[in-house]
Every structure is written in C-alpha cells, then in structure tokens.
C-alpha cells in the first residue's frame, strides 16, 4: 500500500518551474478546450500509452518525440481526438508541435501532443493554431486549473492533485491532472494523464517508476470495457527542486508519492464514470501473487452484472464470485470469502464459496451509499490488489447514444 500524503494547493503547476494555461479555442461550443503545460527548463520525460492497436496521430507523434527522453511542453486539445484521420491527422499533430515550439521557445521534438474527443473527424487547424498561440500568451503558475478543465470531455469534475515529500535534502513536489469518464478500461492508458515534478531523477528510473505505478493504478480502473485510441500518461521531471541524486530508499519514496498521486486520480476517474452514481472499489486479498490479485479485482470491477447489481442495491454476491471465476486466475472457488462494505457498515455474504445468512436490510443500507467496497479473500496466499469502477446506470446509455451529435 502507498504511504499517505497531504495534498497541497497548486495542481499541475505546484512543482517549481512549471506554468500552464487553458483556453477556449472554439473546438467546443463554450467550454475550455486547449491546454498548454510548459517547463521553464528541459525536463526528463517518460510515458505509457494505450495498447489499442488503433493509435491516434498525437500519440504516435508523442512516442517519436519522447524517444530522446526529454520534453519542454505538453499541448492537448479536447473536442477532437485526431484519431483515424489518416496522413492529414499525422501532419496536423506534427504541426501542433511546431506551433507550440515556436510559441514557447523550444524544439518541436520537445513537445508532447495529445488530443481527446470524437474519433474520425479532422482537426480545425486554424482554431488549434490560434488557440496554441493564445494559450502561450497566458502561461502562468496560476493556469494549472484551467489546463485541467481544458482536457475534459464528458467529465463532470476537474481531476487534479499535488503533494510534497522530502527527497535528496530538498522538498520535492509531484502533481498531476487527468481526464477520463468514458472509454475507460485497463491496458493503458484508460485516459489522459499529465504529471509534473520538480525532482531531479534519471530518465530510466522515472520511466520504471511510471510503469510500475500505472500498472497499480490506472490499469486497475474500468468504467465500460472500452480502451481508447488516444490514451497516455506522461510525466515531466525538470529537476528544479535541486535535490541530490536519489538513494535506493529515496527512489522508493518517490515511487510511493507518484503512486499516491496516480491512485488519487484513478479513483476520481472511476467515480466520474459516465452516468455513474456510485464508486466501486474491489479489494482482493489472500492471492497467490499480485498478478492473480489484479486479475480477479479487475474482472469483478469490470463485470456489467456486478455493476448493475450495485446500481440496483442488490446484494447479488453470486455475480461477484462468477466474475472472479472467469478472470483467468487459478483460484479455488471453495476458499473464497466475500464481503460488502461502506460507511453504513460491513457484511459478509459468503465463506468458503458458500452462502452465509446475512441481513438483507444491512446489505441494502451498505449498497445505498455512494462509495462501496467489495472484498474478496481468496485464502491462497498473501498478495493483494485493488481495482476501481462504477455502477452501470441508465444515464451511461443516454450519454453515449448521442456523444457525436
């Protein structure tokens, strides 16, 4: 489990040496739709991308740029995904980098490019270009929250956090913003996430930390079973904290802080799932390995039948053990204990894979809460994992029945 940290104000620009802006470029009718995040000095960079074989043009351009392991700026638009737009889409993504580089004073290969929105529609580059230039003129330490708002699509709330911790003799800050509400499912990225830190850290260590943390956080979130074409998580570390080289223990502390930030954002994404009324946390204990625990947790969190039962406040634990059974993990169904928990209390539903007499009234009270935890003890070992999801409501269908129009 990660260490507990106290969040600090400032969001994505809380780390030293970062500025940001979010503006309305006209890509959406009214809301902010173009974000710019800039490090005042070159930053070590790492990223993790969607495993969907259909990859949007911005993602391809970003992957090319980050081969050098350095970046200065992140430009991201919402409203248009620039996915499945052919050679024009690729040229447009590269042009976003060129325009951004000119506006902030860096090289095009130092620019991370991201887009989110409707697939299969070309970018209106006149608006994008003007928007980038306008955003560059408004860059400020105070611009982080607008940047977080500008990457939202069907999100109903801004997702941002910053924390601090002592490293290498200095106070280091780690921050992040994310967007994600629909098309959320494991196999990274599940959403867009931009992370910043003023820590001085080697690129190889930064990339390793990001990959480990993503597997434990964003790859444990599921809303609807769809893995998008544009998903990525990117981290920039500009070294402005001036910390000494990290020891082995301090690398572990950095990773713990990064995991806290990503876990916080992952929970916000699950809670903000399209049409969701409840956050579902699935905790798996007693697994033979962490891989096994993750398999079971993700399977239960992703089950449409489980999600529907939670929406209806139906304590149908049979759906939970069923989802664990088809997870692919080599579990023993005759050893599984199942519990439901929320602020209203805790109730055990099954022991050793068999039903227990339980209070329907108490179970209903537990399931009436907005934050519900499903607990499975596999009784096979000591490994554990947590996954997050949300209930499946009528509103999910309504939102996605008219997303493009």
pLDDT in tens, 50-68: 877 788 899 999 999 999 9
CA 64 vs CA 67, 234, 327, 404: distances in Å: 6, 13, 35, 30
pTM of the model: 0.85
Mean pLDDT over residues 385-402, rounded?
75
Place of tokens 């502390």: 253
Q: Is the pLDDT of residue 149 over 70?
A: yes
pLDDT in tens, 73-117: 999 999 999 999 999 999 999 999 999 999 999 999 999 999 998
Q: What is d(CA 141, CA 73) in angstroms, rounded to the nearest whole number?
A: 14
- DSSP secondary structure string for all residues of 357-397: ---HHHHHHHHTSSEEEEEEE--S-SEEEEEEEE---HHHH
Single out the residue of 104, 388, 70 nearest to residue 234, CA to CA. 70
Alpha helix stretches (DSSP H) within 178-316: 203-216, 248-271, 290-302, 304-311
Residue 190 annotated to the active site:
yes
Mean pLDDT over residues 374-392, rounded?
93
Catalytic site residue from 50, 153, 190, 196? 190
Residues 6+ apart with CB under 8 A from 135: 21, 22, 23, 25, 34, 35, 36, 75, 103
Q: Is the pLDDT of residue 380 over 80?
A: yes
Single out the residue of 160, 158, 162, 161 nearest to residue 181, CA to CA. 158
Please report the pLDDT score of residue 189 as a whole number: 43
Place of tokens 């990223």: 47
Mean pLDDT over residues 210-215, rounded?
92
Q: Is the pLDDT of residue 377 over 70?
A: yes
* Omega cis (within 30) before 189: yes
Q: Is the pLDDT of residue 243 over 70?
A: yes
Please report the pLDDT score of residue 275 as a whole number: 63
Q: Is the pLDDT of residue 403 over 60?
A: no
Strands 192-197 vs 232-237: parallel, antiparallel or unpaired: parallel
What value does the mean pLDDT of the chain take?
A: 90
């Amino acid at each position: 489990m990660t260490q507990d940290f106290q969040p600090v104000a400032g969001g994505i620009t809380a780390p030293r040496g970062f500025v940001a802006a979010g503006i309305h470029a006209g890509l959406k009718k009214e809301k902010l739709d173009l974000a710019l995040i800039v490090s005042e000095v070159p930053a070590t960079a790492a990223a993790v991308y969607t495993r969907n074989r259909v990859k949007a043009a911005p993602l391809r351009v970003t992957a090319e740029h980050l081969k050098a392991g350095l970046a200065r700026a992140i430009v991201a638009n919402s409203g248009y995904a620039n996915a499945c737009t052919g050679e024009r889409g690729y040229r447009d993504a590269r042009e976003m980098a060129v325009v951004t580089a000119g506006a902030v004073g860096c090289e095009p290969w130092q620019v991370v490019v991201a887009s989110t929105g409707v697939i299969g529609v070309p970018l209106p580059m006149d608006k994008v270009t003007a928007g980038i230039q306008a955003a560059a003129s408004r860059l400020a330490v105070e611009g982080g929250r607008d940047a977080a708002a500008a990457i939202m699509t069907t999100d109903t709330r801004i997702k941002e956090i910053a924390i601090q911790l002592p490293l290498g003799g200095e106070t280091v800050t780690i921050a992040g913003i994310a967007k994600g509400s629909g098309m959320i499912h494991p196999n990274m990225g599940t959403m867009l996430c931009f992370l910043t830190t003023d820590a001085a850290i080697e690129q190889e260590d930064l990339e390793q930390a990001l990959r480990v943390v993503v597997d434990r956080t964003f790859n444990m979130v599921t809303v609807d079973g769809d893995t998008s074409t544009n998903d990525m998580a990117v981290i920039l570390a500009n070294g402005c904290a001036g910390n000494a080289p990290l020891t082995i223990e301090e690398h572990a502390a950095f990773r713990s802080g990064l995991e806290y930030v990503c876990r916080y954002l992952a929970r916000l994404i699950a809670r903000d799932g399209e049409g969701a009324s409840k956050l579902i946390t699935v905790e798996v204990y007693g697994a033979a390995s962490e891989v096994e625990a993750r398999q079971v947790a993700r399977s239960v969190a992703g089950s449409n039948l489980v999600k529907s039962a939670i929406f209806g406040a139906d304590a149908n634990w049979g759906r939970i053990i069923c989802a664990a059974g088809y997870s692919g993990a080599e579990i023993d169904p005759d050893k599984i204990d199942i519990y439901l928990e929320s602020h209203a209390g805790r109730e055990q539903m099954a022991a050793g894979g068999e039903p227990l007499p339980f209070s329907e009234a108490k179970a209903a009270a537990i399931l009436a809460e907005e934050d519900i935890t499903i607990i499975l003890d596999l009784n096979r070992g000591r490994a554990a994992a947590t996954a997050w999801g949300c209930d499946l409501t009528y509103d999910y269908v309504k939102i996605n029945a008219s997303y493009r129009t």
